[in-house]
Chains A and B, each alone.
Chain A
Amino acid sequence: MTVMEQRGAYRPSPPPAWQPRTDPAPLLPDAEPYRVLGTEAAAKADPGLLRRLYAELVRGRRYNTQATALTKQGRLAVYPSSTGQEACEVAAALALKGQDWLFPSYRDTLAVVARGLDPVSALTLLRGDWHTGYDPREHRIAPLCTPLATQLPHAVGLAHAARLKGDDVVALAMVGDGGTSEGDFHEALNFAAVWQAPVVFLVQNNGFAISVPLAKQTAAPSLAHKAVGYGMPGRLVDGNDAVAMHEVLGEAVARAREGGGPTLVEAVTYRMEAHTNADDATRYRLDAEVAAWRDHDPILLLERELTERGLLDDDTRRRASEDAETMAADLRARMNEDPALDPMDLFTHVYAEQTSQLREQAAQLRAELEVASEEADVPEGETR
């Protein structure tokens, strides 16, 4: 008899027969991305929804081309385009109710705009006049997140807090295929599943993390399969099929809302443009590959369905196009105005109460600005 046994302090129970905590089978994603458009199921899609998705996608595409054009005119510092991924962006926004929260990455300004935020506010980060151009709490949109996957645990914490308070709030967090390699992706999914937090993780697998293809990112059967390891369902969807995206995200959000816990959705899509305007995609992929995806364009897929069902008359087409042009013209005009900048803002929001050190530094900058403005007032040719 050991000392421990004598003392009766510790009596190990016999090891229980091992069994999985969760039956993995229902968590597994489909073998092929889920599709509606081009299948028999499409006939059941509501015409009103199809028209709405069409208008949103046309508008989204125009937003992407306009924002890209603004980089060429020097009005945006950089633009990571979501051209080709509009179905994912729009579906993410439409899946949420007003009280729900969206957690976008830097490529998701379209989702933010589709949620209803003023495009100029959505583009503040990329214009460079500040980091976040809106009050996240007012719009229930987290700041656009640049460090990859780091916003995912925020979504989990927020959803968890809302549930603790008994509020009806779902968080939808967006990340790319590259982001799934980050540790924060793993930790967020694990916390979400352990806490059964009302969160939906939307991975837009657009094929590339800047230049690195998915094959160098993961050896998993699919990104959606990763869900199983955390004990949550994974859904694999055609990310260019707006109707399928709308349906799958809607189901995942509803499941979270009903207390069913988190879902991981992998949307298979393609980044039609380079990583940003500063990138050169010809260095790492072939034109033929891009061309093949053009035949699987999200707007094209929707147009085919609408046309087949006689839902896309000239009037619908014209209205969608006019609406998109109006948005683009307004965006162009307002982005062509120089933003009002106050350098003293640099010191205003570091702390609730400015430290004495920052007060000194603010005074220094103010003095420098005064000297600069006095010098600017001296007429040319004169010396002081």
Chain B
Amino acid sequence: MTTVAAKPVTKPATMAQALGRALRDSMAEDPSVHVLGEDVGALGGVFRVTDGLTKEFGEERCTDTPLAEAGILGTAVGMAMYGLRPVVEMQFDAFAYPAFEQLISHVARMRNRTRGAMPLPITVRVPYGGGIGGVEHHSDSSEAYYMATPGLHVVTPATVADAYGLLRASIASDDPVVFLEPKRLYWSKADWNPEAPQRVEPIGRAVVRRPGRSATLITYGPSVPVCLEAAEAARAEGWDLEVVDLRSLVPFDDETVAASVRRTGRAVVVHESGGFGGPGGEIAARVTERCFHHLEAPVLRVAGFDIPYPPPMLEKHHLPGVDRILDAVARLQWEAES
């Protein structure tokens, strides 16, 4: 028997690289996929996600636009009307706001307005969330605004592999997708072989990131690693926490979430976005409606405070961390159990 020294097929890759690879593969596979945004060309985007795309596909496929978010998304609408599949990069969460009217009044409802005749397959990539020491207007968690808009899918990866798989699926979707990229995970690494066949993840399915029996942490995007860390720390307290990574806020996977909470009987929703009017309120209500008789305690929320995003030197007090999550878990009425 001969053994061939196997070349290492996997090596650490960052989420930013996986996202870039997803764009590249989508563009190579489908000539109607066009990338447009600010600084996406020679610079490769401020987070380097689009690095090399203009070189490989030309300026017509990966286009540096004038600096105007409504114009970028508005022209993307017209491009999609003509049969292209635009992928728009918004430079930062808070810089996406000028494009809100286009997103809400046109992108989200064109399929409905035209009775299905003219869906808009547009992917809007938005780096979001804090924890990177960004100054004002660089750290917003804007997902609740998008979630409240019927017609949009709202997707957010938490792992390198999901970044690839979900972005591929989003670009392939015939519906518009707001693709929220947790910017503090851009440089998170995982073993990943870009040459191997990749999974294209279905949009709308949550996954159990860590199985557990005591309580469920329901979370997404940048808070997933924090919850996994909290779950490890919780073992010392005797709690075996399950972590559900939603991956898609719209459509919302009631099935996976409710099944988990029915198993564990307790739930905490964790996100950076503010609590009041935030995603956690909707999620807590959905869980309560579906799992009321299985619940040992009220569904709790660990969220960012209801304040404008703090300056970088104070953001650590705002972001949900391991301690705040464990404090919430401690309040899940364990004493009543025995």
Q: How many A-B residue pairs have CB under 8 A?
A: 141
Tell me the bound Cα distance from A338 to B105 in angstroms.
Answer: 28
| Per-residue A-contact encoding for B69-83, CB less than 8 Å = 1, 0 else | 011011111111111
Asked if A190 and B252 make an inter-chain contact with CB atoms under 8 angstroms apart, the answer reads no
- Judging by beta carbons under 8 Å apart, are A187 and B151 in contact? no
Partner of B114, one of A135, A184, A187, A190: A135
- Residues of A in contact (CB 8 Å), total 42
Docked CA distance A147–B70 (Å): 13
Q: Mark A150-184, 1 if CB is under 8 A from B, else 0.
A: 10111111111110110001010000000000011
Task: Report A-chain residues with C-beta under 8 Å of the C-beta of B60.
Answer: 164
Please tell me if B115 contacts chain A, counting CB pairs below 8 Å: yes
Is A352 touching B174 in the complex (CB atoms < 8 A)?
A: yes
B173 to chain A: which residues have CB within 8 Å?
A: 352
CB of A351 within 8 A of CB of B175, answer yes
Stretch at the interface among A35-43, A136-144, A320-328: A136-144
Pick from A147, A351, A356: contact of B255, CB below 8 A.
A356
B117 lies within 8 A of A190 (CB): no
Minimum distance in angstroms from A140 CB to a CB of chain B: 10
In the bound complex, residues from chain B placing their C-beta under 8 Å from that of A356 are 251, 254-255
A308 at the interface (CB under 8 A from B): no
CA distance A92 to B32 in the complex (A): 30
Residue of A138, A150, A157 near B79 (CB, 8 A) is A157
- Within the complex, what minimum Cβ distance (angstroms) separates B106 from chain A? 6
Query: A350 interface residue, CB < 8 Å from B?
Result: yes
Report if B234 contacts A (CB, 8 A).
no
Q: A143-B118, A153-B102 are in contact. List 10 more A-B contacts (CB 8 A).
A: A131-B112, A132-B117, A153-B77, A158-B81, A158-B82, A183-B98, A188-B74, A191-B65, A349-B115, A357-B251
B residues lining the A interface (CB < 8 Å): 34, 60, 65-66, 68, 70-71, 73-84, 86, 98, 101-102, 105-106, 109-119, 150-151, 153, 173-175, 204, 250-252, 254-255
Q: List 29 A-B contacts (CB under 8 A).
A: A130-B113, A130-B115, A132-B115, A136-B81, A137-B118, A143-B113, A143-B114, A147-B101, A150-B102, A153-B75, A154-B75, A154-B77, A155-B78, A157-B78, A160-B75, A161-B78, A162-B82, A169-B82, A184-B101, A190-B66, A191-B66, A191-B68, A194-B66, A349-B111, A350-B150, A351-B111, A352-B111, A352-B174, A357-B252
Chain A residues in the interface with B (C-beta under 8 A):
130-132, 135-138, 142-143, 147, 150, 152-162, 164-165, 169, 171, 183-184, 187-188, 190-191, 194, 345, 348-352, 355-357
Q: Which 6 A-B pairs have the closest CB atoms?
A: A157-B78, A153-B74, A187-B71, A157-B75, A158-B78, A161-B82
